[in-house]
Amino acid sequence: MKNIPIAVQMYTLREESAQDFTGTLKKVAKLGFDGVEFAGYGGLTAKEVRALLDGFGLRAASSHVPLEEMENNLYQVIEDQKILGSSYVVCPYLHPDRRSLQDYKALTLFLEQAGETCRREGITLCYHNHDFELQRLSNGKTILEAIFDKTHSINVKTELDVYWLTKAGENPVEWMERYKKRTPLIHLKDMTTDGEQYFAELGTGGVDIEAVLHKGQENEVQWWVVEQDVCRRSPFESIEISMNYLKSVK
């Protein structure tokens, strides 16, 4: 735990970032985060964002980049990561109209090709899951398993999201073990135990975060990424609670 840096996914702070991108980064640094995972750059250039990161003592853990942007402008996406100092770019989400079986086959082919291009440029491509990729195919495997079965581990890594795995009835630690050579990034999220299965601050819900953290040491996880899709309190308060929990875990 002590050796793995902690980032916050900026989507958690999307409203705050829209109002004051620079001020939001500054507050993230003050809360003790080592870095950030981007979900957009606040209308700034990669060079401008890099200057802010350097000024606040933050690092770019990775960037969530829409699939369509990677499909249309992959080399610019890669160049941005180099400028930011990020080693990882993540395919974050599939829109509902791109979730047919044929869509998944096309996605897998694209990820393999894009991942190879990224690798040759010194960048690692990861795929971030939600719960819909945990649906079973006719052969009994999940869609997520099929994606990784059909791509090479050197080209396509995974950013496992422990909340969505848990919501789908899966054990995050078992998935980390299954893909232990492909898990440089892990999304840390907790889930309420009140029956709503809502997003919760780390250490306040039912996800076995400590087991995930322990497994991360074995898996050589490079970044823990704290994300809370929706917060019932101030997002800054929520991520502070999560950070304080992580600091308390020995």
pLDDT of residue 2: 63
Q: How far apart are CA 234 and CA 230, in angstroms?
A: 10
What per-residue confidence (pLDDT) applies to 3? 87
Give the bridge partners for 136, in sequence order. 142
Mean pLDDT by 10 residues, the chain (250 residues): 89 98 98 98 98 98 98 98 98 96 97 98 98 96 97 98 97 97 97 95 97 93 98 97 93
- What residue type is assigned to position 239 of the chain? I
What was the pLDDT predicted at 217? Answer: 87
SS3 readout for 37-92: EECCCCCCCHHHHHHHHHHHCCEEEEEECCHHHHHHHHHHHHHHHHHHCCCEEEEC
Which residues contact residue 238 at a Cβ distance below 8 angstroms, ignoring those fewer than 6 apart? Answer: 12, 201, 228, 231, 232
